[in-house]
């Protein structure tokens, strides 16, 4: 199995959790916009720190199984990690946290809040 | 220095905790849910690591910045902390972005509006005095 296939399998899992969270918590375009910004910021950090970490020889790749595109020393496959993290963790948070106190609170509209947590509204 | 990477990771995790505490984003907002989310994130990326190591995609480097303590073949102790840091960073970063974009929970927004209304009522005479003072 090539590494991109493996990465896509885990990305699909993260995306599936995001879809479930979107449906269950009725997450709107604003939630997704903030999620997109989070992923973008994580990717910039990855571009910088992955290069430093590979240069420091903290870990290595089997280069024969990589697609062969690099950003400096960082293989393009490594950007699957920030993408997966940015999708998976906020989605899990939406599914598991006590809803009204969420940092995503303002990104869900009032009608949605009332529908999801009717008892918590006066 | 065999502990540089370990210490850097612990320091970065500490910084995330400080931001979390200051702005009440994750563990200081919903401790149990936050811990569960971080644990699931750790399990997810650890599984990714283990599958990638088993199919010979990843290998540990030989950097002298690492302790050399291995939890499994090709899986250094530091990797656990790296995954935890990535997961915590993701949640803290997202929380900060929401704050920076002016987001507030509806409850907080209602509180703030109520407070502003009260302040407006209380301070209106004072403002008039000030305005008069400026004119004279």
pLDDT digit string, tens, across residues B18-39:
999 999 999 999 999 999 999 9
pLDDT at residue A98, rounded to an integer: 65
Q: Write down the pLDDT at residue B107.
A: 40
CA A65/CA B51 separation, integer angstroms: 14
- The three-state DSSP-derived secondary structure of chain A is CCHHHHHHHHHHHHHHHHHHHHHHCCCCHHHHHHHHHHHHHHHHHHHHHHHHHHHCCCEEECHHHCCCCEECCEEHHHHHHHHHHHHHHHHHHHHHCCHHHCCCHHHCCHHHHHHHCHHHCC
- In 3D, which of B64, B56, B49 has the Cα closest to residue A63? B56
| Of the candidate ranges A1-10, A38-47, A68-77, A98-107, the one whose mean pLDDT is the lowest | A98-107
Joined tokens for residue B44: 């997810």
Which tokens belong to B39?
Answer: 């644990």
What are the chain B neighbours of A42 within 8 Å (beta carbons)? 89-90, 93
- Please, how many CA atoms are within 13 Å of residue A118, restricted to the half-sphere of its CB? 1
Q: B34 in contact with A at a CB cutoff of 8 Å?
A: yes
Of A3, A57, A82, the CB nearest to B63: A57
Burial of A118 (0-12, 13-18, 19+ CB in 10 A): exposed
Tens of pLDDT, residues A70-89:
888 888 888 999 999 999 99
CA dist B83 and B34 (Å) reads 15
CB contacts of B40 in chain A (<8 Å) are 92
ipTM: 0.79
Which tens digit of pLDDT belongs to each residue from A14-73? 999 999 999 999 999 999 999 999 999 999 999 999 889 888 888 888 877 787 788 888
What are φ and ψ of residue B103, in 5° steps? -75, 145
> What are the chain A neighbours of B58 within 8 Å (beta carbons)?
59-62
- Read off the pLDDT of residues B98-129 as tens digits, 9 standing for 90 and up: 999 986 544 444 445 555 555 555 444 444 44
Q: What 3-state DSSP class applies to B15? A: helix
Q: A99 or B133: which carries more pLDDT confidence? A: A99
Structural contact between residues B50 and B34, judged by C-beta atoms closer than 8 angstroms? no
Q: Give A 26-55 residues with CB within 8 A of chain B.
A: 34-35, 37-38, 41-42, 45
Instruction: Tokens 């000030």: give the residue.
Output: B130
Closest CA to A66 of B73, B63, B78, B55: B55
Helix, strand, or coil here: B70? Answer: strand
Cβ–Cβ < 8 Å for A81, B86: yes
The per-residue pLDDT for A58 is 86
Q: What integer pLDDT is reported at residue B135 of this predicted model? A: 43
pTM of the model: 0.77
């Amino acid at each position: 199995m090539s590494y991109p296939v493996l990465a896509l399998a885990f990305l699909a899992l993260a995306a599936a959790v995001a879809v479930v969270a979107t449906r269950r918590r009725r997450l709107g375009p604003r939630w997704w916009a903030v999620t997109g910004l989070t992923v973008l910021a994580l990717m910039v950090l990855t571009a910088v720190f992955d290069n430093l970490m590979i240069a420091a020889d903290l870990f290595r790749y089997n280069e024969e199984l990589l697609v062969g595109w690099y950003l400096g020393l960082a293989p393009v496959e490594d950007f699957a990690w920030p993408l997966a993290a940015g999708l998976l963790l906020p989605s899990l948070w939406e599914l598991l946290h006590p809803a009204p106190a969420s940092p995503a609170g303002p990104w869900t509209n009032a009608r949605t809040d009332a529908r999801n947590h009717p008892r918590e509204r006066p | 220095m065999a502990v540089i990477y370990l210490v850097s990771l612990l320091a970065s995790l500490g910084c995330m905790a400080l931001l979390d505490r200051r702005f009440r984003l994750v563990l200081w907002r919903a401790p149990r849910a936050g811990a569960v989310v971080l644990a699931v994130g750790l399990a997810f990326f650890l599984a990714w690591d283990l599958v990638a190591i088993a199919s010979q995609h990843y290998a540990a480097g030989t950097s002298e910045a690492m302790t050399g303590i291995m939890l499994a073949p090709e899986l250094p102790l530091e990797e656990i902390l790296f995954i935890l840091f990535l997961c915590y960073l993701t949640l803290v970063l997202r929380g900060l972005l929401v704050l920076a974009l002016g987001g507030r929970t509806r409850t907080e927004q209602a509180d703030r509006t109520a407070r502003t209304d009260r302040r407006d009522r209380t301070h209106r005479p004072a403002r008039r005095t000030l305005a008069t003072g400026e004119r004279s």
